[in-house]
Amino acid sequence: MKLALDPYMLRDVPLLELPGVVADLGYEWIELSPREDFIPFYNHPRVDDGTVEKFRTALRAAGVGISSVLPLYRWSGPDEDDRQAAVRYWKRAIQITSDLGVDTMNSEFNGSNQDVVRCEGQFWRSMEELLPVFEQEGIRLALEPHPYDWEEDGIRAVDLVRGINSPLVSFLYCAPHTFHQGDDCAGIMERAGDLLTMVHVADSFSHTASSGQRYIVNPPGAKVTVHQHLDIGQGEVDFNEFFSTLEKVGFDGVMSSSVFAWEDRARESSVFMRETMTDYLSRWSTPPTFESPG
């Protein structure tokens, strides 16, 4: 198993210093999420080949590896020009991932739950163009349903990933999205089985609690989704169920701390999450073996 940190709360740390900071926090793996100076949200990558090589050198020096690269693009959006641009951006992001020596990427379905049929069609069109590129580079892709995506439900998302019918494409379960995925952590993970290769760990509150009045949105009926990425224990995700189900299905993939809520205490939060995840994992009947870079 790879225990990783999504360093989004540390995105102001200069890129070449990031591996050392992550190592100081006790992590050996980075889930490289969007950064303005590398692969930004929804736009073409900003990094050149020379910087990629310098970053790779910095990673080796710090003894830190990249568990996966996470780009977010409008590859399922209803606008065809946006979709075509997203595919071009994806191709460059895949090349960067390959140049880093990384074999895994992860992302979201994207699109909108307000235009499901159109967005699903766009998704499949993009997959048809991109799967050959993933195959050419030998890079795996883990996909997750995100709140407001054209597919939010966890069970249906597992079946959708299975329907892609590629050994390179798998499922990512995101704990803070539990309540948007159907509030069925065990059922979704068990449905995924061997397709479950990545998990994001953070806490969240249930938007369905208090008769749906946990969050009050004005004007009433506005089409919004709300969730958090909190430290374990600050929300309502059942982490005993989460970790016990991971053990039950024999999970041995990438587990990433995915907290975004506490930029004012980013380092303390990251250490807390590492220690807490490790503690939960130590309770397994056969505690997992952690993989190290190199």
pLDDT tens-digit map of 157-202:
999 999 999 999 999 999 999 999 999 999 999 999 999 999 999 9
pLDDT category, 210, cuts 50, 70, 90? Answer: confident
Burial track 65-94 (b if 16+ CB lie within 10 A, e otherwise): bbbbbbbbbbbbbbeeebbebbbebbeebb
Q: What is the DSSP letter of 245?
A: H
Give the span between the Cα atoms of 134 and 138, in whole angstroms: 6
Rounded mean pLDDT, 227-235:
95
Q: What are the pLDDT digits (tens) for 120-158? A: 999 999 999 999 999 999 999 999 999 989 999 999 999
Among 234, 258, 242, 249, CA closest to 185: 242
What is the percent of the chain where pLDDT is above 70?
A: 100
Q: Which residue has the tokens 């990438």?
A: 254
Mean pLDDT of the region 53-81: 97
Check residue 230 and report its DSSP letter. Answer: B
- Calpha distance 44→54 (Å, rounded): 20
Angle between the N-to-C axes of helices 239-248 and 185-192, in degrees from 0 to 180, rounded to the nearest 10: 20
Rounded to whole angstroms, the Cα distance separating 151 from 157 reads: 7
Residue pointed to by tokens 């079946």: 159
Q: Does the pLDDT at position 209 exceed 90?
A: no
The predicted pLDDT at position 222 comes to: 79
Region 110-118: mean pLDDT is 95
Strands (DSSP E) contained in 95-184 are: 104-108, 140-144, 169-174
Task: Specify the higher pLDDT residue, 294 or 250.
Answer: 250
Which residues are CB-neighbours of 162 under 8 A, at least 6 positions away? 195
Q: Where are the beta strands (DSSP E) in 242-291?
A: 254-257
Structure tokens at 53: 């090589």
CA 31 to CA 100: how far, in whole Å? Answer: 13
pTM (predicted TM-score): 0.96
Q: What is the pLDDT of residue 224?
A: 81
Categorize the per-residue pLDDT at 23 as very low, low, confident or very high, splitting at 50, 70 and 90.
Answer: very high
What gap in Å lies between CA 285 and CA 29, rounded to an integer?
Answer: 24
- Average pLDDT (239-263) is 97
Q: Quick one: which H or E segment has residue 214?
A: none
Instruction: Give Dmax over CA atoms of the chain in angstroms.
Output: 54
Q: What is the helix (H) or strand (E) element at residue 231, kind and residue range?
A: none
> Helix 266-282 vs helix 239-248: angle between axes, to the nearest 10 degrees?
50
Mean pLDDT of the chain: 96
Interior CA angle at 157 toward 32 and 135, to 5°?
A: 55
